[in-house]
Homo-oligomer: A and B are copies of this chain.
Amino acid sequence: MADTQLTQYFVAASMDGFIATENDDLSWLLQFEGVDEAQDANPYDAFISDVGALAMGATTYEWILAHDDGPWAYGDRPTWVFTHRQLPSVEGAVLRFTQDDVATVHGRMLAESSGRNVWVVGGGELAGQFLDAGLLDEIWLTVTPVTLGQGAPLLPRRHTTPMTLVSALPAPNGTFVHLRYRLR
């Protein structure tokens, strides 16, 4: 099974490559909430059903804590949070706070994901560390029809070896386009 497990950075960004404003504001993205899903154009449901483990940075985790009102959205999938700080837990979540490097953690993730894929949730710096270690198989990028001008970068790395565009699925309502790239 291990050969078919993919490590995927699934993320939404402004068309100029930011995943949040400098204040971690996502209202530019959340203004579209429900619009895309209603048309069955969003690949998230199909994507998440193949995910067995998650990785995220402390900022991403804290954003979820502060903004997600409902139950933990990722079920019993083990979730590694890369942090050097003490962070609160979430009821119902299977959390692994870690200070280890991504290569070490990635081995554990593959072993504990029931043969399914690994989702690098973000942020960009954590995704960059997976890229640096040669561990990133795919990027799923939802391009949002706005610009931010500055903020948290999508992937703060120079990677000019061409990735392969696997698919480009525009939402029928003229909002998002969902791009899927293969890196190796």
Interface on A for B, CB 8 Å cutoff?
13-18, 21, 27-28, 31-32, 139, 141, 143, 145-150, 153-171, 174-177, 179, 181
Contacts and interface: CB of A to CB of B under 8 A. Distances in A.
A158 B162 contact: no
Contacts of A18: 17
B32 A154 contact: no
7 contacts: A14-B17, A15-B141, A31-B160, A145-B181, A150-B158, A168-B170, A168-B177
A165 B174 contact: yes
B147 A159 contact: yes
Given A174-B164, A176-B165, A177-B179, A148 B143 contact: no
Contacts of A167: 170
A5 to B, nearest CB: 22
B15 A15 contact: no
B146 A175 contact: no
A113 B27 CA distance: 40
Contacts of A147: 154-155, 157-160
A42 to B, nearest CB: 14
Given A15-B17, A21-B158, A149-B155, 11 more contacts: A13-B17, A16-B17, A16-B153, A17-B18, A145-B181, A146-B163, A149-B159, A165-B170, A166-B174, A168-B168, A168-B170
Q: Which of A14, A163, A168 counts the most chain B CB atoms within 10 A?
A: A168
B149 A177 contact: no
B156 A149 contact: yes
A179 B148 contact: no
